[in-house]
Amino acid sequence: MTTLSAFRKFTEDLTPQDYTMPVLFIGHGSPMNGIEDNEFSQRWKKMAQEIPVPKAVLVVSAHWFTKGTRITAMDFPQTIHDFGGFPRELFAVQYPSPGDADLAKEAAALITTTQVELDHDWGLDHGTWTIIRHMYPEANVPVLQLSIDYTKGPQYHYDLARELTKLRKKGVLIVGSGNMVHNLRMMDWSMINGGGYDWTQTINEKFKDLISTRDHQPLINYQTLGKEALLAIPTVEHYLPLMYTLGLQGKEEEATFFNDKMVGGSLTMTSVKIGA
C-alpha cells in the first residue's frame, strides 16, 4: 500500500493560493456510473482536466446522514459499498485515496455554528468514490467527507457551507454529491437511458433558472415551488448537497451546468459548476 508520506506534499502547506477553487454540485445517479465509461463519467474526467489540481477534495455526499456534523479524519478512508443488487465487479472496486487528518481538523475549526466531530469509522461512500475515481483515477489526491446533519433544514446547511469558504483559497475542491430531482419510486425503466416526465423537466428548468440568477432563497424554501418540487424531492438527502454548493458561491461568481440530462423519468443528472 502506498504510504501516507507520499501524499504529504499535497496538503502539508495549505496556504492561500492566487486562485479560488471552483465548487461543484454533481448529480451522481446510479452506482454503476462508478465503473461505466459513459457520458456522465466522461464529463467528470473532463471536469478534472478543466480545473486546477486540488490539494484535497471535500465531498458532502447524500449518503452520509448523521445526527450532528462529522468529518472523516483517518489517514486512509475505506471504500464503502453502500448499495445492493448490483454486479459483483462494482463491489470489488477499491478507491485507495488518502485522507488528511490535519485538513479535517482545520475544516472543523472553521465551522463555529456547531461542533464538528472528527470521524474515524466512515470512509468514502458511493456518493463520493463513484465520481472521484473518474476525476482522479490515480487516487493521489486526499479525499474527505463531511456529513449532513439530518436534524437540520436547508437554510442551516446553506449557512454552514459559507463557513468553509476559506478552504477554496487553500486549494480544496468542495463537491456536493446528490441529485436535484431524485424520486426513485416513480422511476420508469423504459427511460433509463434518457427521458423524463413533464414535471421533471419543468422543475429542473426552474431549479436552473433560480441557480443562474443567484436566487437562492426559493431553492432553500423548495416547498414553496409547487407540486413539481415536492415530487422532485420526496426526501431531502439528495437535495441538501446542493445547498452546500450554493452556499459557497461568491458574489461575482457565475454558475454553469453540465451533465444536464433526465434519466429514468424522475431523476436528473444535472450538475453545477460555480467559479472559474
DSSP symbol at 36: -
User: How is 82-120 classified by DSSP, letter by letter?
Assistant: ---SS-HHHHT--------HHHHHHHHHH--SSPEEEES
Query: Residues 212-234: what's their mean pLDDT?
Result: 98
pLDDT at 168: 98
Question: Which pairing describes strands 271-274 and 23-27: parallel, antiparallel, or unpaired?
Answer: antiparallel
Average pLDDT of the residues of the chain:
95
Q: Which of 5-14, 125-134, 184-193 has the lowest mean pLDDT?
A: 5-14
Q: H/E element holding 167?
A: helix 165-168
What would the pLDDT profile of 127-172 be if each residue is shown by its tens digit?
Answer: 999 999 999 999 999 999 999 999 999 999 999 999 999 999 999 9
Neighbours of 202 (CB within 10 A): 18
- Cα(182)–Cα(171) distance, integer angstroms: 31
- Whether pTM > 0.85 for this model: the answer is yes
- Give the per-residue pLDDT at 19: 85
Query: Which residue, 123, 118, 128, is CA-closest to 62?
Result: 128
What are 14-66's pLDDT values in tens digits? 667 778 999 999 999 999 999 999 999 999 999 999 999 999 999 999 999 99
Distance CA 40, CA 68 (A): 32
First to last CA, the chain: 35
Element (H, E) at 26: strand 23-27
- Report the alpha-carbon distance of residue 160 to residue 110 in Å, rounded: 10
At 246-269, the pLDDT tens digits run 999 999 999 999 999 999 999 999
> What distance in Å separates the CA atoms of residue 225 and residue 207, rounded to the nearest whole number?
9
Across 227-231, average pLDDT? 98
Question: Measured between alpha carbons, how far is 15 from 13 in angstroms, rounded to an integer?
Answer: 5
Average pLDDT score over residue span 96-107: 98
Classified as helix, coil or strand, 272 is strand
